[in-house]
């Protein structure tokens, strides 16, 4: 940045509220939600949605559970007007959904707005005019009194037209926004809201929605919360007013501003899916709602198919949800770090083993399946990954429960392969590399065939003693080994010993079924320790016969030692 450029900026706002109450509050219930995707989100698109796209998104918003949907700015364009007329004329609006429409406080725009909602069952007419000192000075060049008069004239016309609409069966609620509220002097914001309220004459049964927008994020979230609490405490007839929030994201704190604003007394929230909006965007309602969900508070919105909702959003708006976007991004439930992967696997294993109902998995805020995501992409492998991550993929995707003692060896090898390739490894690639190195090693020794006999012709009282005859190909030469041992694997070890090939001792053997049912295979894990340098080496055998799997695992471990 240029020298002294910092001198152009200063703190814009402070609120005197020494007894502020909001820091001690908790969010324990959902606010009234209003989606503004079809208006505020739409006007921020390089190519605004057409009628069919708006209808598809509208139906998705209804399915999610929004009861208030701002469907457009009907005086702004014919597309906006035509869409509103379409969903009303074709009876596409559920009885429990209220249509919200936006209008500036100008007579011809207000009249066009009421014409657009003709025949609607429930409507909110959202009236606004800008109130900040900067806007008064630069845009309008008007005094406080003149700005209040604009709001009063608009409110009077909305009141009159609402009474007419009521006669034809349309219930109208009024919403008023002192636009640029977050940069407006609090006493003036209160004065203009009181002026509108005096005209509308709200009741507890028909409240005035006082929307206090953070049109531009000039202030930190705590200042916005102070502003909301100040108005909430000072406005008259508080039970006749519904305080509403409409935050933007210029400072990257739209979610924080909204959450603190709810704590400060707001009962209603306007926003969009995934924060689509002008400049850096609107509030992301998905994030706020799922933050509540993550704390056990029912958000009253259904995001159980978040990938499907995201697909509709992206198709209708042409916008893309970034891979690190909270909850909805491709990578938000994904761990590449080895330590993270290890903790996630242990958490998942513990929940399965002990049937824990409360979600307790490190690094995962919520269970991905609750919002329609699978476990497949939780752990992904690159050169930064660890033993736990590789083990998770092999178990979750391929049913291979790699022993804890073997995981470091497998993890180091897979991560080395990823580093050499310079890319992330997909599950099938991980399995292929694992199979080639730890399962399919047949050089210098290959087990061609074998036969097990419980009677070697010698007297023995041990019922587990067996005799093995194995056909082996060693460095391309076929040989027959035979020996007696305590079980098939020990018998083959004894056969290696009898032929001068036992330069190891067997340290570990374990096995498990892969999957369930009669057609499952077995996996056997064998660890050998070199008698020369003490190095331990693992091998794996996989076969439909558990006996064969163990013998293949032994030969594979022997080959890997070489």
Tokens of 361: 């998995």
Neighbours of 116 (CB within 10 A): 24
- What are the tens digits of pLDDT across the range 302-338? 999 999 999 999 999 999 999 999 999 999 988 877 7
| pLDDT score recorded for residue 446 | 95
For the chain, the farthest-separated pair of C-alpha atoms sits apart, in whole angstroms, at 114
Question: What is 445-561's CATH topology?
Answer: Double Stranded RNA Binding Domain (3.30.160)
| pLDDT score recorded for residue 327 | 97
Domain ranges in the chain are: 10-317, 338-439, 445-561
**Percent of the chain at pLDDT above 90?**
81
Paired residues of 509 in beta bridges: 526
Q: What is the pTM of this model?
A: 0.81
203: burial class by Cβ within 10 Å (0-12, 13-18, 19+)?
A: exposed
Confidence of residue 142 (pLDDT cuts 50, 70, 90): very high
Query: Are 254 and 283 spatial neighbours (Cβ–Cβ below 8 Å)?
Result: yes
pLDDT at 230 over 90: yes
| pLDDT score recorded for residue 461 | 60
Lowest mean pLDDT among 222-226, 411-415, 553-557: 411-415
Lowest mean pLDDT among 80-89, 121-130, 194-203, 411-420: 411-420
Mean pLDDT value across the chain: 93
Neighbours of 2 (CB within 10 A): 6
Confidence of residue 106 (pLDDT cuts 50, 70, 90): very high
- What are the tens digits of pLDDT across the range 87-100? 999 999 999 999 99
- What are the tens digits of pLDDT across the range 475-526? 999 999 999 998 999 999 999 999 999 999 999 999 999 977 766 899 999 9
Mean pLDDT of 224-252: 97
Give yes or no on whether 10-317 and 445-561 have one common fold: no
Query: Are 245 and 224 spatial neighbours (Cβ–Cβ below 8 Å)?
Result: no
| pLDDT score recorded for residue 505 | 93
Question: What is 10-317's CATH topology?
Answer: TIM Barrel (3.20.20)
**Percent of the chain at pLDDT above 70?**
97
| pLDDT score recorded for residue 335 | 81
Tokens of 187: 């006493």
Query: Are 525 and 540 spatial neighbours (Cβ–Cβ below 8 Å)?
Result: yes
| pLDDT score recorded for residue 107 | 96
Confidence of residue 12 (pLDDT cuts 50, 70, 90): confident
| pLDDT score recorded for residue 537 | 96
Mean pLDDT of 47-68: 97
Query: Are 258 and 223 spatial neighbours (Cβ–Cβ below 8 Å)?
Result: no
Neighbours of 335 (CB within 10 A): 27
């Amino acid at each position: 940045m240029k020298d002294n450029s910092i001198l152009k900026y200063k703190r814009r706002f402070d609120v005197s509220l020494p007894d502020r109450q909001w820091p001690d509050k908790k969010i324990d219930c959902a606010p009234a939600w209003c989606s503004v995707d079809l208006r505020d989100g739409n006007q921020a698109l390089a190519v605004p949605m057409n009628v069919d796209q708006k209808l598809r998104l509208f139906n998705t918003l209804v399915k999610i559970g929004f009861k208030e949907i701002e469907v457009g700015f009907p005086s702004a364009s014919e597309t906006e007007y035509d869409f509103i007329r379409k969903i009303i004329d074709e009876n596409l609006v559920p009885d429990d959904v209220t249509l919200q429409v936006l209008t500036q406080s100008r007579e011809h725009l207000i009249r066009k707005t009421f014409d657009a909602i003709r025949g609607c069952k429930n409507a909110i007419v959202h009236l606004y005019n800008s109130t900040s000192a900067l806007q008064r000075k630069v845009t309008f060049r008007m005094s406080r009194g003149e700005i209040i008069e604009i709001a009063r004239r608009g409110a009077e016309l909305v009141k009159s037209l609402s009474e007419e609409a009521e006669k034809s069966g349309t219930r109208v609620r009024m919403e008023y926004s002192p636009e640029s509220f977050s940069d407006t002097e609090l006493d003036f914001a209160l004065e203009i809201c009181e002026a509108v309220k005096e005209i509308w004459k709200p009741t507890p049964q028909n409240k005035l929605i006082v929307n206090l927008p953070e049109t531009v994020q000039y202030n930190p979230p705590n200042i916005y919360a102070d502003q909301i609490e100040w108005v909430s405490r000072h406005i008259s007839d508080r039970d006749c007013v519904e305080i509403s929030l409409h935050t933007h994201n210029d400072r990257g704190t739209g979610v924080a501003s909204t959450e603190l604003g709810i704590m400060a007394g707001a009962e209603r929230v306007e926003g969009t899916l995934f924060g689509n909006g002008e400049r850096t965007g609107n509030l992301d309602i998905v994030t706020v709602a799922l933050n509540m969900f993550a704390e056990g508070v029912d958000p009253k919105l259904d995001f159980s198919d978040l990938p499907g909702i995201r697909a509709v959003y992206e198709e209708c708006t042409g916008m893309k949800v970034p891979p690190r976007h909270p909850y909805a991004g491709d990578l938000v439930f994904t761990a590449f770090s080895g330590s993270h992967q290890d903790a996630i696997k242990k958490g998942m294993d513990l929940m399965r083993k002990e049937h824990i109902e409360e979600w307790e998995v490190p690094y995962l805020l919520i269970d991905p399946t609750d919002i329609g995501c699978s476990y497949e992409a939780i752990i992904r492998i690159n050169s930064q990954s660890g033993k736990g991550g590789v083990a998770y993929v092999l178990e979750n995707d391929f049913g291979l429960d790699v022993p804890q003692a073997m995981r470091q060896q497998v993890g180091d090898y897979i991560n080395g392969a990823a580093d050499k390739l310079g890319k992330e490894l997909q599950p099938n690639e991980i399995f292929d590399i694992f199979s080639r190195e730890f399962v399919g090693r047949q050089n210098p020794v290959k087990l061609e065939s074998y036969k097990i006999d419980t009677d070697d012709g010698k007297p023995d009282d041990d019922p587990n003693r067996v005799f093995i005859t194995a056909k082996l190909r060693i460095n391309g030469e076929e040989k027959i080994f035979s020996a007696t041992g305590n079980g098939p694997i020990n018998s083959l070890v004894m056969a290696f010993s009898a032929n001068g090939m036992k330069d190891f001792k067997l340290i570990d053997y374990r096995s498990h079924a892969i999957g369930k049912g009669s057609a499952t295979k077995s996996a056997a894990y064998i660890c050998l320790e070199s008698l020369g340098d003490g190095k331990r080496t693992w091998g794996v055998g996989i076969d439909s016969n558990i006996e064969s799997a163990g013998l293949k695992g032994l030969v594979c471990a022997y080959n890997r030692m070489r």
